[in-house]
């Protein structure tokens, strides 16, 4: 069902500093910040030859990243994203297997402009998983 790794998301306490570190210290291809109000985050994508890194920073007081950073003030890996061909078929299969989908269970449009869903971390060894339709 899952395809290739789309990205690893890292919550950061300082988006500008983190993007600069990837750009200057690691020599990575770093994109521009983009606000994602539906998800409560500002993101910066770092393009690697085989996948992407997504830097996450809170957008607003209700951002889910605020709670994560309160528990992890230095930041850290927030989630991993896998590609799927059909997000509704993937959702239905997962629900049939007893997995929990966060939110309403209906896909939202993610930072790449494609439908996404998040799976409950307690069902996947403590890892928050995002599925993105490609």
What would the two tokens of residue 94 be?
């997962």
Nearest alpha carbon to residue 78 among 62, 90, 89, 67? 67
pLDDT tens, position by position, 34-79 = 999 999 999 999 999 999 999 999 999 999 999 999 999 999 999 9
Tokens describing residue 26: 């690691």
Which residue in the list 83, 97, 106, 130 is annotated as catalytic? Answer: 130
Per-residue pLDDT at 25: 98
Distance CA 43, CA 90 (A): 25
For the whole model, what pTM was predicted? 0.94
* 31 and 42 Cβ atoms separated by less than 8 Å: no
To the query of whether residue 36 is one of the catalytic residues in this protein, the response is no
Q: What are 80's two structure tokens?
A: 């991993």
C-alpha span between 76 and 57 (Å, rounded): 11
Tokens linked to 10:
């890292």
Domain definitions of the chain by residue range: 5-133
Instruction: Give domain 5-133's CATH number out of 3.40.630.30, 3.10.180.10, 3.10.510.20, 3.40.50.1970.
Output: 3.10.180.10
């Amino acid at each position: 069902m899952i395809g290739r790794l789309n990205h690893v998301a890292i919550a950061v306490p300082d988006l500008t500093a983190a993007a600069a570190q990837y750009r200057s210290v690691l020599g990575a291809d770093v994109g521009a910040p983009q606000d994602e109000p539906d998800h409560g985050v500002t993101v910066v994508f770092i393009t690697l030859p085989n996948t992407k890194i997504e830097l996450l920073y809170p957008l607003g007081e209700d951002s889910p990243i605020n709670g994560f950073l309160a528990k992890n003030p230095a930041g850290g890996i927030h989630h991993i994203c896998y590609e799927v061909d059909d997000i509704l078929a993937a959702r239905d299969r997962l629900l049939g297997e007893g997995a929990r989908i966060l939110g309403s269970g209906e896909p939202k449009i993610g930072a790449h402009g494609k439908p996404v869903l998040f799976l409950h971390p307690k069902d996947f060894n403590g890892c928050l998983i995002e599925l993105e339709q490609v």
